[in-house]
C-alpha cells in the first residue's frame, strides 16, 4: 500500500467538515479512511488527558491520528441495575455503532469510528513511554497486561478519526440544557418542570437558528441507543452559533437492551419541535422496506469487529424508533397518549399538515419518500406544553412544529 497516496484521506476528511456536517452524504472519503485505518501501522501512542476512562491518542505512520478506547467488557454485558448512568462503564462497540447510527439517520455529526484489534505487546507496550508505560504490567503467565487485559490475547478497541487540532480549529464546549444532575439524590430542573423548554427557547443560542432542533436530533440519537450521558456538547467555533453540534462520546450508549429510557427524549416531548429531515429519516425506517436494525447490520458489516452489537440492541433500535414516532404521534391518531414508563405522561398530538421549512433545514434536507397526508403533531390540552397531561382526542391548543 502506498501511504503517501492515502495520506490525503486525513486531509480530505478535515476539509469536508462544514457548518452543517462532518462529511458529505456521498463523500467516499469516510469509508476509505475507515478501511485504510484497519491495517495502518501505529507509530506513536499517548494517553489522552481528561475524562474518566482510559483513552489513547494513536498516531499512525503517515501522521494520521485517532482516538482509541479499549474494550472493557463483553458486548452482551448489560448496564448493572444499580449502576447510575454516570458510573456506568464505557463500551468501545457503542462508539462504533453510534457512528453508524448517526450516519444512517442522516446527521453526519459523529466522528468516523471503526473497530480494530491491537496486539498489546507489539502495538501498545513497545510504543508506550513515561506514565503510560507504567500502566502496563505482567500477568502471572508473564503476559503483558493493559488495563486489565493481558496478551497474548489481542485487545479490541474503537478508533475514532481525530478532528483537526483544538488549537488550529478551536471548538466551543456547551453545557447541555437537558443535562442530568450527576448526583445520586438531586434531580435536574427539566425532570420536574414541565415548562422547562419555554425557558430554554428564550435562552441564547436556543432562541434562534438551528440549535434547538439539533438538540432534539441529538436526543433522538441518544434515545435510540439509550445514552444518558450527554452532559456537554461541542461546536466548531469558526462556524459560529448556527452550526451543527458534534456528536461525540457515545461510550455509554447500548448499555440496556431491554429498557427504553424515554426521558432521554425530553427535548422532543417538552419542546415539541422536530426537524423535517429527521422525521423523514425516521419514517423511512418505519415504513420500510428496510428497518433500522437491518440497515445498521449492513452498515456495520464492514467493521473488523463485526458483529459490533449484541442482537438485542438491534431489536431495541426498531422498538425505540416506534416510540419516537409515537412521541411525535406521526404514526396514527390515537385517542389516548400512551404513558411513559415511570408515570410521566407522554406528549399528545393532533393533526397538522407538515410544512417543511427550507431555511431552518439548510444542509440537512433529506429525501422525503412519501409525505404522509397528515402528520400528527405534538400538542397539549393543558397549557403545559406537550408534556405532562393525559389528553382527550383532538384538542387544539398548541401544535408542535415540524421545521
Q: Which residues contact 205 (CB under 8 A, 6 or more apart)?
A: 211, 241
Nearest approach in angstroms of CB 361 to Mn ion is: 30
For residue 24, the partner it binds in Mn ion, ligand ATP, none, with Cβ less than 5 to 8 A by kind, is none
Nearest approach in angstroms of CB 320 to ligand ATP is: 22
Helix (H) or strand (E) run with residue 56 in it: strand 56-60
End-to-end CA separation in angstroms for the chain: 47
Q: 352 - beta bridge partners?
A: 375
78 burial level (CB within 10 Å; 0-12, 13-18, 19+): middle
For residue 55, the partner it binds in Mn ion, ligand ATP, none, with Cβ less than 5 to 8 A by kind, is ligand ATP
With CA atoms as reference, report the closest residue to 232 among 221, 247, 253, 242. 247
Residue 234 labeled ligand binder: yes
For residue 181, the partner it binds in Mn ion, ligand ATP, none, with Cβ less than 5 to 8 A by kind, is none
Residue 53 labeled ligand binder: yes
With contacts defined by CB under 6 A, name the span among 47-55, 100-108, 205-213, 334-342 that binds ligand ATP: 47-55
Radius of gyration of the chain (CA): 22
In the complex, residue closest to ligand ATP by CB = 51
CA–CA separation, 232 vs 100, rounded Å?
A: 21
Residue 172 labeled ligand binder: no
Residue 236 in contact with ligand ATP, rule: CB under 6 A: no
Q: From residue 241 to residue 270, what is the string marking binding to Mn ion with x (rule CB under 5 A)?
A: --------x---------------------
Q: Are 387 and 329 in contact (CB under 8 A)?
A: no
CA–CA separation, 233 vs 215, rounded Å?
A: 10
CA–CA separation, 168 vs 158, rounded Å?
A: 25
Choosing from 229, 260, 303, 318, the catalytic residue is 229
Nearest approach in angstroms of CB 51 to ligand ATP is: 2
Residue 3 in contact with ligand ATP, rule: CB under 6 A: no
Q: From residue 138 to residue 177, what is the string marking binding to ligand ATP with x (rule CB under 6 A)?
A: ----------------------xxxx--------------
Residue 195 labeled ligand binder: no
Residue 251 in contact with ligand ATP, rule: CB under 6 A: yes
State the DSSP string of 39-65.
TPPEEEEEEPPSSSS--EEEEETTS-E
Nearest approach in angstroms of CB 77 to ligand ATP is: 18
Dihedrals phi, psi of 142, to nearest 5 degrees: 70, 30
Is the Cβ of residue 3 or residue 86 nearer to ligand ATP in the bound state?
86
Residue 249 labeled ligand binder: yes
Q: Which of 236, 248, 279, 283 binds ligand ATP (CB under 6 A)?
A: 248
Q: Which of 24, 51, 63, 307 binds ligand ATP (CB under 6 A)?
A: 51
Q: All 3 cell numbers of residue 72?
A: 472493557
Q: From residue 59 to residue 88, what is the string marking binding to ligand ATP with x (rule CB under 6 A)?
A: --------x---------------------
Q: Which residues contact 292 (CB under 8 A, 6 or more apart)?
A: 104, 224, 285, 317, 318, 321
Is the Cβ of residue 97 or residue 160 nearer to ligand ATP in the bound state?
160
For residue 284, the partner it binds in ligand ATP, Mn ion, none, with Cβ less than 5 to 8 A by kind, is none
CA–CA separation, 21 vs 103, rounded Å?
A: 10
Q: All 3 cell numbers of residue 37?
A: 485505518
CA–CA separation, 67 vs 248, rounded Å?
A: 11
Q: Residue 88, preceding bond cis, omega within 30 degrees? A: no
Residue 229 annotated in active site: yes
Q: All 3 cell numbers of residue 135?
A: 500502566
Is the Cβ of residue 6 or residue 235 nearer to ligand ATP in the bound state?
235
Residue 90 labeled ligand binder: yes
Nearest approach in angstroms of CB 251 to Mn ion is: 5
CA angle 100, 9, 252 (to 5 degrees): 30
Binding site, annotated residues for Mn(2+): 90, 249
Catalytic residue annotation:
229
Which residues are near ligand ATP by CB under 6 A? 50-53, 55, 67, 111, 160-163, 234, 248-249, 251
Amino acid at each position: 500500500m502506498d501511504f503517501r497516496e492515502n495520506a490525503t484521506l486525513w486531509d480530505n476528511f478535515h476539509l469536508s467538515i462544514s457548518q452543517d456536517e462532518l462529511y458529505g452524504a456521498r463523500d467516499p472519503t469516510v469509508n476509505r479512511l475507515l478501511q485504510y485505518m484497519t491495517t495502518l501501522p501505529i507509530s506513536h501512542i499517548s494517553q489522552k488527558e481528561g475524562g474518566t476512562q482510559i483513552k489513547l491518542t494513536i498516531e499512525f505512520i503517515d501522521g494520521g491520528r485517532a482516538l482509541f478506547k479499549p474494550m472493557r467488557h463483553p458486548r452482551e454485558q448489560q448496564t448493572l441495575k444499580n449502576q447510575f448512568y454516570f458510573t456506568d462503564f464505557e463500551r468501545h462497540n457503542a462508539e462504533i455503532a453510534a457512528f453508524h447510527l448517526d450516519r444512517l439517520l442522516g446527521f453526519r455529526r459523529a466522528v468516523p469510528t471503526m473497530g480494530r484489534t491491537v496486539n498489546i505487546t507489539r502495538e501498545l507496550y513497545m510504543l508506550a513511554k513515561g506514565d503510560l508505560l507504567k500502566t502496563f504490567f505482567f500477568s502471572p503467565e508473564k503476559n503483558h497486561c493493559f488495563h486489565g487485559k493481558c496478551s497474548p490475547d489481542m485487545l479490541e478497541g474503537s478508533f475514532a478519526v481525530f478532528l483537526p487540532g483544538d488549537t488550529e480549529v478551536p471548538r466551543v464546549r456547551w453545557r447541555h440544557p437537558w443535562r442530568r444532575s450527576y448526583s445520586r439524590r438531586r434531580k435536574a430542573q427539566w425532570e420536574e418542570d414541565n415548562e422547562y423548554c419555554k425557558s430554554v427557547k428564550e435562552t441564547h443560542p436556543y432562541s434562534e437558528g438551528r440549535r434547538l432542533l439539533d438538540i432534539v436530533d441529538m436526543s433522538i440519537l441518544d434515545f435510540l441507543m439509550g445514552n444518558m450521558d450527554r452532559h456537554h456538547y461541542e461546536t466548531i467555533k469558526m462556524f459560529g452559533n448556527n452550526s451543527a453540534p458534534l456528536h461525540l462520546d457515545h461510550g455509554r450508549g447500548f448499555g440496556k437492551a431491554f429498557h427504553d429510557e424515554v426521558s432521554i427524549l425530553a427535548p422532543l416531548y417538552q419542546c415539541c419541535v422536530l426537524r423535517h429531515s429527521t422525521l423523514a429519516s425516521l419514517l423511512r425506517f418505519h415504513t420500510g422496506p428496510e428497518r433500522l436494525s437491518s440497515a445498521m447490520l449492513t452498515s456495520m458489516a464492514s467493521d473488523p469487529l463485526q458483529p459490533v452489537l449484541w442482537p438485542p440492541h438491534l431489536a431495541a433500535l426498531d422498538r425505540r424508533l416506534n416510540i419516537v414516532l409515537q412521541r411525535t404521534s406521526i404514526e396514527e391518531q390515537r385517542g389516548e397518549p400512551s404513558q411513559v414508563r415511570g408515570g410521566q405522561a407522554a406528549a399528545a398530538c393532533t393533526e397538522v399538515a407538515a410544512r417543511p421549512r427550507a431555511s431552518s433545514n439548510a444542509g440537512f434536507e433529506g429525501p422525503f419518500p412519501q409525505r404522509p397526508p397528515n402528520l400528527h403533531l405534538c400538542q397539549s390540552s393543558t397549557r403545559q406544553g406537550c408534556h405532562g397531561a393525559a389528553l382527550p382526542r383532538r384538542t387544539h391548543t398548541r401544535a408542535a412544529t415540524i421545521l
